[in-house]
Structure 1
Amino acid sequence: MNCADEASEDDHHTHSHSHSHTHPHGDPPVATTVAQSLNHRIDTPRLAAYNLRNPQHELPRLFKTQAARLETTPVFRSHFGPELLITIPFTGPVKLFSLLVRAAPDAPHAPHTLRLYRNAPQLSLDSVRAARPTYVCEHPAAASAAASAADSAADTAGFVEHHLPRRKFAGTSTLTIFFDPGPAADPDAGPALELYALELRGDWAGPATRAPVALLYESAARREDHPVGQTADAAASSSRLGL
């Protein structure tokens, strides 16, 4: 049950259930909150999935709102074999903190390995294995996930939170997730992967929204609207007349 940084070994990396977890490599990861959800920052018309049995137009429903996060329908399944590739574009740059996955709790339908790619929207199932992932996480075994399910109400939802190295996911405009069934699985046959919900958490780094500035345009200035200017004109006229 570990995550591996493909770029360096000096980052802390782990995943945990939605409750606090002992970090296997030192300090526990920084906790995230519902307020840091980035699901509403996803550019849903540009979502794409490869080897998905469900219609593409249903894909935004995988990124459920907080009100719907406990729903288990629809179930998103891979089509041919257990591989699945999902490309998630954002409406602006974000800094990712974690990825929450709610999936089938039992093998063989549960995820095995998650390979994450930052800003690589061109990847497909044909090219993804040759690309170097930004980060790799192993999804916990079903028995481990179920063992502490009674610890909190949040855990009964079945979410597993994979904490990410934040410095490596700053300035993320697109996140590509490859659900790799592992070397023992047949990528072209076998049981389908089953997902119920995904949630991304982090900081929005997009352009700040500014309030519109109201501008007043006058086609012709009116003297009565500018008493100060009128006084100045009167003073100038008096000066010219020697008053």
Structure 2
Amino acid sequence: MSHGHCGSGGCNGDHNHEHDSPEMGVEYSLYTKIDKENLTCLNEAVDGSCKTIFKPWDQRLNFETMVDSDVDEELLINIPFTGNVKLKGIIICAPDDESHPNCVRLFKNRPHMTFDDTTTEPVQEFHLNRDPTGLLEYPLKAVSFSSVNHLSIHVPSNFGNDTTKLCYIGLRGEWTAAQRSEILITNYELRPNVADHPNRVWEQASHEIQ
């Protein structure tokens, strides 16, 4: 496929090492707000395996649950949320070998993306360092990811292997319930219907006669 790769500019995001602490499990709990039933991954070798990498932070090193790419190194993950999310950071954890992704490209609010769609400019992209411990966070642009109901993660390449492996993707941010505003349709009568108001029309006619 090889549709998109990190460009020469804007890929190197700041990344901060975080301490392994219980607070990280709370901060990286957005996996509970993912609509996993409708989560999809293009080019995964085993159908549904990508759903297993969105898991509790303290299970991020469980390499028994991971996703492998199929025919080449690309992956495209479409992630619907159950509400609106303000994304602040992402962690990409994978084996410490050449199958580890070396780049991710992020798109927002574009459901059902395909590899053909990845030729467009992403909202943000990062060159990745190998991170088999899941302690390396890449901060996201707060303004760009302030209102996200769908996130697409494109992995265009890795460190040299024919296929890509991912064992954990962590998302940090704030979730709010979707506002479902009910539309009330009100019929305004510009011209009264005589059948609906017989008494009122009779009274008006009586006044005019007098």
Shared fold by TM > 0.5?
Answer: yes
Asked whether the 8 Å contact 2:60–2:93 carries over to 1, the reply is no
Residue deviations 1:95-115 (CA, integer Å, cap 9, x gap): 0011111112222x1101100
**Kindly tell me: are residues 100 and 158 of structure 1, through their superposed partners in 2, closer, same or farther at Cα, counting changes over 3 Å?**
closer
Q: CA deviation at 1:192?
A: 0.7
Answering whether residue 83 of structure 2 is matched by residue 112 of structure 1, we say no
Root-mean-square deviation (Å): 2.7
Gaps of 5+ in 2: 1-7, 180-210
Residue deviations 1:145-172 (CA, integer Å, cap 9, x gap): 5xxxxxxxxxx73443111011110110
Residue deviations 1:157-207 (CA, integer Å, cap 9, x gap): 34431110111101100010000117x97xxxx611011111111011225
Gaps of 5+ in 1: 7-11, 21-31, 146-155, 209-243
Q: CA deviation at 1:119?
A: 0.7
Question: Which residue is equivalent to 1:80?
Answer: 71
SS at match of 1:177: strand
Q: CA deviation at 1:40?
A: 0.3
**Kindly tell me: are residues 126 and 78 of structure 1, through their superposed partners in 2, closer, same or farther at Cα, counting changes over 3 Å?**
same
Distance 1:42 1:158 in 2: 20
| CA radius of gyration, larger in | 1
SS at match of 2:32: helix
Q: CA deviation at 1:18?
A: 3.1
Task: Normalising by structure 1, report the TM-score.
Answer: 0.62
Question: Which residue is equivalent to 1:221?
Answer: none
Structure with greater helix share of residues: 1
Asked whether the 8 Å contact 1:105–1:158 carries over to 2, the reply is no
Alignment partner for residue 35 of structure 1, among 21, 26, 31?
A: 26
5 Å matches for 1:12-51? Answer: 13-19=13-19, 33-36=24-27, 37-51=29-43
Identical amino acids, percent of aligned pairs: 27
Question: Which residue is equivalent to 1:95?
Answer: 86
